[in-house]
Each structure stands twice: as structure tokens, then as C-alpha cells.
Amino acid sequence: MKEDIIIGLKEERDACKRWLKEAEEKIEKLKAELARAKEDHQYDNLVHKRELESVKNPIPKLRNKGLM
């Protein structure tokens, strides 16, 4: 009787450990995905900023191309 309870508790503990390990792995994957998304967002912002600058002031760009 007592041994059955101990065995049941050990099985439950092991199940909790497996669940926790899976959760930690998922968290790490999500952190990596978030970091990549942040990098992509930063790059997109930089590209858009440069596009806006070239639209606002196209003369230096045209001069560099020899069109003015």
C-alpha cells in the first residue's frame, strides 16, 4: 500500500519533469523566434527609413547617378 503510493508519486514526479523539460525547450525556441523577428523588424525599419530619405531628398541620389 505505502509502496504503491510512493511508486505513484515517483511516476507523477517524472511526468512533471518531462513536461517541464518540454516547456523549457519550447520557451527557448520561442525566444529564438522572437529574436529573429526583432532583427527582421529592425532591418525592415532601416530599409523603410532609407526609402523615405531618398524620396524626401532625391537630388543627392540623382547627382550620384550623374543625372543632375
Q: Could you tell me which of 26, 49, 50, 30 has the C-alpha nearest to residue 38?
A: 30
Domain that holds residue 32: 2-65
Model-level pTM greater than 0.75?
no
Give the total number of structural domains in the chain. Answer: 1
When pLDDT is cut at 50, 70 and 90, the band that residue 66 belongs to is confident
Whether 62 and 68 have beta carbons less than 8 Å apart is answered as yes
DSSP annotation of 67 reads -
Convert the pLDDT of each residue in 25-42 to its tens digit: 999 999 999 999 999 999
Give the per-residue pLDDT at 68: 58
Contact predicate 68/59, CB 8 Å: yes
Is residue 66 classed as helix, strand or coil in its secondary structure? coil
Which 8-state DSSP code applies to residue 68? -
